[in-house]
Amino acid sequence: MAIWKQFNNNPVNRSVGDCAVRAVSVALGTDWETAYAMIAMNGFLMGDVISSNSVWGAVLRQHGFSRNTVPSNCPDCYSIGDFADENPRGVYVVGTGNHVCTIKDGVVWDAWDSRNEPAIFYWHKED
């Protein structure tokens, strides 16, 4: 089973509504504030909110990540933990539809244990 690393770099320890900021910060190896600023600037330029998949996803795209969908053989039974087990190397930002976290070298980095949540799409940067 995939390992979960409890991670919350929010400066005031909040863990609701900023999952994209935390995920982008882990994926890009930056702090929460820098990730927030990048996403917020994209949101401003795009006329959208920072929680929009297209807004934070554009930040990942700008840093060489590409978006993919998880095959939907069993959309409710393929979890973030399953994805982590099948992808033990690399950095992936995995989305559920209403949540997002980062998997780095098979470890799920998130403020809460999201390993049982369904994986729907992911961002990955080729080495």
The 10s digit of each residue's pLDDT in 86-126 is 999 999 999 998 999 999 999 999 999 999 999 999 999 97
The Cα 109–Cα 101 span in angstroms is 6
- Domain span at residue 120 reads 3-124
Q: Are 39 and 21 in contact (CB under 8 A)?
A: yes
pTM (two decimals): 0.94
Task: Give 32's pLDDT tier (boundaries 50, 70, 90).
Answer: very high
- Residue 108: per-residue pLDDT: 98
The Cα 123–Cα 94 span in angstroms is 6
By CB neighbour count within 10 A (0-12 exposed, 13-18 middle, 19+ buried), where does 20 fall? buried
Total domains present in the chain? 1
